[in-house]
Amino acid sequence: MSPVASDGSDLPRGLRSLLTSNPTAIIAVDPDGLIAFVNGAAEYLFRHRSSLLVGQPVEVLIPSLASGRRSGSRRSSFSHPLPRRMAAGLDVHGRRRDGSEFPVTFTTVNLTPTDLGDGRYWAVVAVTDVSARVSAERQLAELSRSYLTLAQLNHAIVRAPDADALFASTCQIAVEQGGYLGAWIAVSSPDGRVTAVAQAGALGVYINQLDITLDLDDPRSGGPVGTSLREGRPCFSTDFLRDPATAPWQESARRYGVAACGSFPLRTQGRVVATLTLYTDRPTAFDDGVGDLLTQVAEDVSFALDGFGGAKALVAEVTARRDLLRRLVLAEEKERGRIACDLHDDSVQVLAAVSLRLSVLSKRVGSSPEAADVASMVQTISDTVALATDSLRNLLFELEPPLLAQSFVDALRTTAERVFEDETTTWSVTCVEEVDLPDIERGQALRIAKEALINARKHAHASHVDIVLHRRDGGVEVAVTDDGDGLPADGDVEHLPQRRGHRGLETMRDRASATGGWCRLERSGARGATLRFFVPHAGRD
């Protein structure tokens, strides 16, 4: 079987035109898994020349295709030549010539067996770089993680009986909820040495051997901890292993996986008495406003230090808790709006342009003998772009801000209409008594309800959903009941295992808890489930 020229010059004209002019990166693979052809878009995407790629294993460009399961799937695709999509759940990355990798979604990678007309078959792989989308999702996850961490820290501020308990809780929450490698609170002694008064996480040995001083003549005073204690300002090292200020601790930090850290001063009566330091393996952990939010938490912890021991201070702490919740919610909604704007202006518009060009290309295929195959390939790529566009539009819907201009009941109805807009699922909203909530609490309640409705649509496959509201004990209780697939017959529904990458139920509970309320999942008869949550009015302690 003769190979195809690397530039595709010996391919049928219609097929050559489709592959070479396509804006999507196209890789053609023969039955042995060897690259037979790449178009110009693929050369640019992978930073490779086609003449150097033809004849190489496809795993050179897409390493995840090296698994035995993928190899069997490839053979099956040639034995049964039908267009097929790659298996869901596969973590697919492309690899450029310099060895750098970038994410591609499996919905934009398709194996399409193509008959070249002379007994040769190709599997045509269409690859789309989704780095921008993955980056946006990562930013949103970082912000969400920080929001929930701050909410828990806010509760610790209110409940802690003294400074030692507050310090211990702060470190523990930062590690358990925020996902930091380690957290510690440092104070300085009269001789200028820095010691730990509280710590949590897996970096105990690392923290205990830091040997930090405030002596300006000592290089061990110039890191984030010493600078924050000495100058009374937040200090970050976002590239810890190459930051000149952290040189004395880099060798040890490398062994423990430290990539970045942030230190935040804590004050009593305006005087710096300690600093909270967080270590992470995520270099971007303090980006996109997270550092500012953590700085605000340090200020609220400082306020709590001032307030221990008096009823007046306790009232001020409760007020600070509510103000902090308001700031966190506003910061989260602002960041969600920014990410949604970026996705709409960039990714969605690019996909729309690709879809338009594919439509034009489809009309230019003509009526040559190979037109049917070419038309099929165009349709496959168009379907792929449509799937990616739908996925991004669903993400944009989830990022939309709560409908605060409407009453709570009307906003719930509008949310249900949008969630089930293209579905056959029926729904109802029943309000037993007149209810409403202040904006911040209403926003959290609407996000919980939206997540519950999306779960009923995506995972429970419900045919009907009931939303019932009650006024309860200084707040509003909402029950979202579906008739879908239901919950496992065995086991504790309050501790169901989370699917990897999904924290929907945990996030709903955290949102309710952040307002001072609660959220729980219940079985509903033989089929279905009920998500029930309570959100208090702002004035309720």
Rounded to an integer, what distance in angstroms lies between the CA atom of residue 340 and that of residue 401? 10
User: How many Cβ atoms from other residues are within 10 Å of residue 4's Cβ?
Assistant: 19
* Cα–Cα distance measured from residue 200 to residue 220, given in angstroms and rounded to the nearest whole number: 22
User: Where is pLDDT greater, at 342 or 474?
Assistant: 474
| Whole-number pLDDT of residue 503 | 55
Confidence of residue 300 (pLDDT cuts 50, 70, 90): confident
- Of the listed ranges 13-17, 141-145, 284-288, 310-314, the least confidently predicted one is 310-314
Per the model's pLDDT, the better-predicted residue between 134 and 47 turns out to be 47
Q: How confident is the model at residue 310 (pLDDT cuts 50, 70, 90)?
A: low
The tally of CA atoms less than 13 A away on the side-chain side of residue 309 is 3
pLDDT above 90 (res 482): yes
Contact present, 520 and 534 (Cβ < 8 Å): no
Asked if residue 18 has pLDDT above 90, the reply is: no
E strand residue ranges, 56-210: 84-85, 93-95, 101-103, 110-115, 121-127, 182-188, 194-201
The whole-angstrom separation of Cα 295 and Cα 298 is: 5
196 touches 276 (CB < 8 A): no
Q: State how far the alpha carbon of 472 is from the alpha carbons of 263, 382, 475, 477, 536, in Å.
A: 42, 51, 5, 6, 8
Q: Is residue 86 very low, low, confident or very high in pLDDT (cuts 50, 70, 90)?
A: very low
Q: What angle do CA 59, 63, 67 make, to 5 degrees?
A: 90
pLDDT digits (tens, 9 = 90+) for 147-189: 777 777 777 777 888 888 999 999 998 888 888 999 999 999 8
Half-sphere exposure of 519 (CA within 13 A, CB side): 23
Strands 110-115 vs 84-85: parallel, antiparallel or unpaired: antiparallel
pLDDT at 234 over 60: yes
- Mean per-residue pLDDT for 248-269? 93
Top mean pLDDT of 290-299, 482-491, 492-501 is at 290-299
| Cα–Cα distance, 262 to 278 (Å, whole number) | 5
Among the listed residues 234, 324, 320, the one whose alpha carbon sits nearest the alpha carbon of residue 276: 234
pTM value is: 0.46
Is the pLDDT at 60 greater than 70? The verdict is: yes
Give the E-state strand segments of 59-152 in sequence order. 84-85, 93-95, 101-103, 110-115, 121-127
Model confidence at 530, pLDDT cuts 50, 70, 90, reads: very high
> Is the confidence at residue 97, as pLDDT, over 60?
yes
Name every residue whose Cβ is closer than 8 Å to that of residue 432 and which is 6 or more positions away in sequence: 468, 469, 470, 471
Residue 481 confidence (pLDDT): 94
pLDDT at 200 over 50: yes
